[in-house]
Chains A and B, each alone.
Chain A
Amino acid sequence: MRASTLLSEILAVLAKELTAELRSRVALNAIGLFGLTTLIAVAYQIGPYQIQEQDRPHLLSALLWIILFFAATSGLSRVFVKEEDAHTAKTLRLAARPLAVLGGKYLFNLLLLLALYALIVPLYCALMGYAVRGVGGLLLVLVAGAVALAATTTIVAAIIARASGSTTLFAILSVPLVLPLLVMLIQGTRAAAASSELAVVLPALQGVVSLGGAVMIVSVYLFPVVWHD
């Protein structure tokens, strides 16, 4: 009974986030346009022919994740910052239990990241001439990356929402926590691009999933403190 109530609360928070976002489209526009602008700048200046053949695996996977991560940072903090800015956080505290708020906001950020990846990754492969042999492996890396990145950025967004200069703080606080994740994701993407076998992405996936899982578990314990203080 309690589990189903929690689930319905999580889905209600997610529905609220989606309705509010589709009404204003601030986060969608910020993330999508930031991603597109950066991609165009990179493709225009570097393109498919400016990189030496031996450097392509390293540079293309790193550039892809730099574009994806920095585009994500432009919008993911909004999920909590907007509640403080609009003074709706108190109402939300009364309406839903902390775990439901965390779950709903996490799912919303996850959907935003997946939408960003769906837009940017095919365009990046086309514009940069990035031939990926293991499409299945790349999809696994992208999904695991979105799950783990959403977990870290959601709890950091909750922490910074109640500080002054929160948008700047989001990047400062999240970059050190996300760097190990990005290193493993770049490694996984490079492995997927080089081979069609799924096994090649497993070492990176293990790291990404375990770090994402650890952050999620810690977030469940920390969020009530962050949310109510």
Chain B
Amino acid sequence: MTDNRTRALLHFSLGGWVLLVILAAFFYAPSATGFKGESARIVFFHVPQAWVAVLAFCVNLVASIRYLRKRNPLDDARAAAAARLGLVFSVLATVTGSIFANVMWNSFWNWDPREVSIVILLLIYAAYFALREAIPDEERRASLSAAYAVLAFVTMPFLVFVVPRIYWSLHPDTIIGATGRLKLQMESRMLQTLLGSLVGFTGLFFWLYTLDVRSARVRLARRGREEA
């Protein structure tokens, strides 16, 4: 009972927080200079979406490694849940990035290295599910998709850090600069809104992730009872 009450309280807090972030993105944060119109406000949604896509990839990696070590089917369900959300958030990040690119540079797609990076992440998630669909045996599906997830993670640092450094990029600079030093040159209210949005989107990710894992847990328990 207490658990349910805590959970409901957390859900309402998360909903309230996300609502505050949306209001702050449009009414609290000032307009950014050097951008067309109010286009820079998309940063409060686009950056957290890209962050959640990468976070999901990390959660997928941890769950995959846990599966390979302990062979618990729930870890496979955790890995798949993270990948599902990663796929959704990488699509959202790609779409919002394209809208921003069209406003700023009059083209939805510019083959910018960072645009390519997020698309490759999207392709990796899609390939992960294509692999899962192609293996009927559950245990083999879990172990081979976990192996692919670990392998795919190796390419991530190259996509995020190496390739954008080799090619010239239109993309506004990231928070971590090329020198490796933190570059948080943002007006304080904008920064507060961005950080708030990052927290909100992270919370949203974990809420959706927990829902998916709980339903997988119920499914596994029911199957266990049927087999017993």
Chain A residues with CB under 8 Å of chain B are 155-156, 159-160, 162-166, 169, 172-173, 175-177, 179-180, 183-184, 187, 203-204, 207, 210-211, 214-215, 218-219, 222, 225-226, 229
Contact = CB atoms under 8 A, between A and B. Distances in A.
Interface in B190-226: none
Tell me which of A162, A176, A183, A226 has the highest count of chain B C-beta atoms within 10 A of its own C-beta: A176
B60 interface: no
A225 B147 contact: yes
B134 A156 contact: no
A169 B130 contact: yes
Contact of A159 (B131, B139, B162, B163): B131
A173 B125 CA distance: 10
Contacts of A173: 127, 130-131, 148
B144 A177 contact: no
A202 to B, nearest CB: 12
A219 B147 CA distance: 9
Interface residues of B, number: 30
B154 A214 contact: yes
B155 A163 contact: no
Contacts of B155: 176-177, 180, 211, 215
Tell me which of A156, A165, A173, A218 has the highest count of chain B C-beta atoms within 10 A of its own C-beta: A173
Nearest to B145: A159
Contacts of A180: 120, 155, 158-159, 162-163
B73 to A, nearest CB: 14
B151 interface: yes
A183 B130 CA distance: 24
B24 to A, nearest CB: 36
Contacts of A184: 162-163, 166
Contacts of A164: 134-136
Interface string B125-141: 01100110011100110
A162 B134 CA distance: 9
Nearest to A222: B147
Contacts of A226: 143-144, 147
Contacts of A179: 116, 120, 123
Contact of A203 (B120, B127, B166): B166
A189 to B, nearest CB: 13
B144 A162 contact: yes
Contact of B162 (A156, A177, A207, A215): A207
A176 B50 CA distance: 18
B118 to A, nearest CB: 12
Tell me which of A159, A164, A180 has the highest count of chain B C-beta atoms within 10 A of its own C-beta: A180
B167 A183 contact: yes
A11 to B, nearest CB: 26
Given A164-B134, A207-B162, A219-B151, A176 B127 contact: yes
Nearest to A188: B166
B68 interface: yes
A102 to B, nearest CB: 13
B123 A163 contact: no
Tell me which of A156, A163, A207, A218 has the highest count of chain B C-beta atoms within 10 A of its own C-beta: A163
Contact of B151 (A165, A204, A210, A222): A222
A184 B164 CA distance: 11
A107 to B, nearest CB: 19
B151 A169 contact: no
A164 B132 CA distance: 10
B134 A215 contact: no
Nearest to B67: A225
A204 B148 contact: no
A159 B123 contact: no
